[in-house]
Amino acid sequence: MNTTEARNASSTELILEAKHIHKAYANHKALNDVSISVPRGSVFGLLGPNGAGKTTLIRNINQITAPDSGEIWFDGERLQPKHIEQIGYLPEERGLYKKMKVGEQAMYLAQLKGLTEKQAMTKLKEWFVKFGIETWWDKKVEELSKGMAQKVQFIVTILHDPKLLIFDEPFSGFDPVNVELLKSEMMKLRDKGTTIIFSTHNMASVEELCDNIALINKSQVVLSGNVKNIQRQYRNHTYSLTYEGQEVNLQPLLPQGFIVLSNHPHGHGFNSAKIQIPADSKINNLLTELIKHVEVTGIQEILPSMNDIFIKTVTK
């Protein structure tokens, strides 16, 4: 396969590729040889501590600033100004005009995205009803809470059906009910084929929503890949199990190297235990020893959380 064929094949699978991006401001290196590949129709988590370089990369993708070197490819083409209309960007710092009325501003921003007045009105009414905010149309933005303003900006961001959506801390300021509403709408957009880049510090949301991630620390990508594969990569061979009957002291029953981390009654005649096995052992070895003494009713591997992986990777 030649270079052109390889790129065309890649473009069918990837909506965005950033290749060897460098960006510096004065004496500060914001991005140092950063590369990411975002699969089409997926939710991609862009993670990292404050000041790691995430916002700089997002600004490069949105062509707010340009990289000093490197390439960004969008939908099989080198990133160009024409691609802006195919990208929706919801920044962490919201940018609505406080003195304008909500409906007036939403119409203005929708038409900036290329919608006709009739299209904008029809789609905005649908979304305002869906989000339960139809009574806000004539309110001024300054009358809205942070969460209310975010709802409006979320709608304006997705209204023109872009191929790529970039959300920077989209749940900030939302109560739990509205967080679930936003998550649901994000997943519906993903299921329709929209690709989402999702930047957040909430690792629970990463596990729930993201297919793949890239973790940037000190201007470099230090971890990337499929979320489940990364969790398996960082596995510590710990299992949660339940067994029936009276609580049993399990530690003396297990071979050397098997560690009982916890063991206590679970209720209704069942007990719960957490056991770590040696890296070169298997779950069958654990079960072979346990079933000699107790009635095992369930067992499951405990994979490390993305929060644990984030902290371990960033602080090591």
Shared-domain flag, residues 268 and 219: no
CA distance 273 to 284: 16
* Cβ–Cβ < 8 Å for 60, 23: yes
pLDDT of residue 192: 95
Task: Provide the number of structural domains found in the chain.
Answer: 2
Shared-domain flag, residues 40 and 182: yes
Shared-domain flag, residues 45 and 112: yes
DSSP state for residue 305 in the 8-state scheme: P
From the CB of residue 210, how many other CB atoms can be counted at a distance below 10 Å?
Answer: 22
Q: What is the CATH number of the domain that holds 257?
A: 3.30.70
Q: Residues 198, 199, 205, 207: what is their CA dihedral angle, to the nearest 10 degrees?
A: 80
* Cβ–Cβ < 8 Å for 110, 104: no
Domain range for 254: 234-315
**Matching residue, tokens 């949105």:** 62
Q: Which of 166, 199, 228 is the last residue of a domain?
A: 228
Shared-domain flag, residues 222 and 239: no
pLDDT digit string (tens) for the chain, length 316 residues:
444 444 444 456 999 999 999 999 988 899 999 999 999 999 999 999 988 999 999 999 999 999 999 999 999 999 999 999 999 999 877 678 888 999 999 999 999 888 999 999 999 999 999 998 999 999 998 898 888 888 899 999 999 999 999 999 888 878 899 899 999 999 999 999 999 999 998 899 999 999 999 999 999 999 999 999 999 999 999 999 999 998 999 999 999 999 999 999 988 899 999 999 999 999 999 999 999 999 999 999 999 999 999 999 999 7
Shared-domain flag, residues 193 and 258: no
Q: Tell me the CA distances in angstroms from 140 to 35, 105, 120, 127, one per residue in order.
A: 42, 9, 19, 18
Q: Which of 190, 206, 228 is the last residue of a domain?
A: 228
Q: What is the CATH number of the domain that holds 165?
A: 3.40.50.300
**Matching residue, tokens 């005009």:** 97
pLDDT of residue 150: 87
Shared-domain flag, residues 167 and 209: yes
Shared-domain flag, residues 155 and 262: no
Shared-domain flag, residues 197 and 273: no
Shared-domain flag, residues 128 and 272: no
How far is it between the farthest Cα atoms of the chain? 75
Shared-domain flag, residues 73 and 162: yes
pLDDT of residue 94: 65
The DSSP bridge partners found for residue 238 are 276, 302
Shared-domain flag, residues 202 and 55: yes
CA distance 94 to 145: 12
Which pairs with CB-CB distance under 8 Å and at least 24 residues apart come from 175-179? 175/147, 178/147, 178/151
Q: Which of 179, 198, 228 is the last residue of a domain?
A: 228
Shared-domain flag, residues 77 and 216: yes
